[in-house]
Copies of this chain bind each other. A is one copy, B any other.
Amino acid sequence: MANSETLDRTFAACSHPIRRGILERLAAGTLSVGQATGDFGVSKPAISRHLRILEEAGAIVRVVDGRTHLLSLPDRDPGLDDAYGWMTRQRAMWERKLDVIEDVLTEQRAAARKEQP
């Protein structure tokens, strides 16, 4: 079962363009902070805080290597899995709802054809 607080943090982590950008770049592999966040046009402290939010959400992993911090996506991110699963279920129910509407429309058309052959 998806933990609510985990979902909260994961969705919140994805709700800022800079944080999404960081995750997108890290999908290619491990990067230093500078490589992952070089040209977002904000100060380094701002970047540092975004990284902290991502890290606390479990969306990234940090390994300190000398003076550089190496960032990467975790092997498995339960938060992202849960968030993706929630969206999938939500869309499934939504599709089902549309199916019901479709059925109603089909039925109505059939009835109309019956009345006016």
Contact = CB atoms under 8 A, between A and B. Distances in A.
Interface of A: 4, 7-9, 11-12, 14-17, 20, 23-24, 27-29, 73, 75, 80, 83-84, 86-88, 90-91, 93-94, 96-98
B27 A94 contact: yes
B12 A97 contact: no
B27 A17 contact: no
A80 B83 CA distance: 12
The 6 closest A-B pairs by CB, nearest first: A27-B93, A11-B15, A12-B15, A11-B14, A4-B17, A84-B87
Contact of A97 (B28, B87, B97): B28
A63 to B, nearest CB: 16
Nearest to A29: B97
Contact of A27 (B23, B73, B84, B90): B90
Contacts of A8: 15-17
B90 A24 contact: yes
A87 B83 contact: yes
A4 B40 CA distance: 14
Nearest to A16: B8
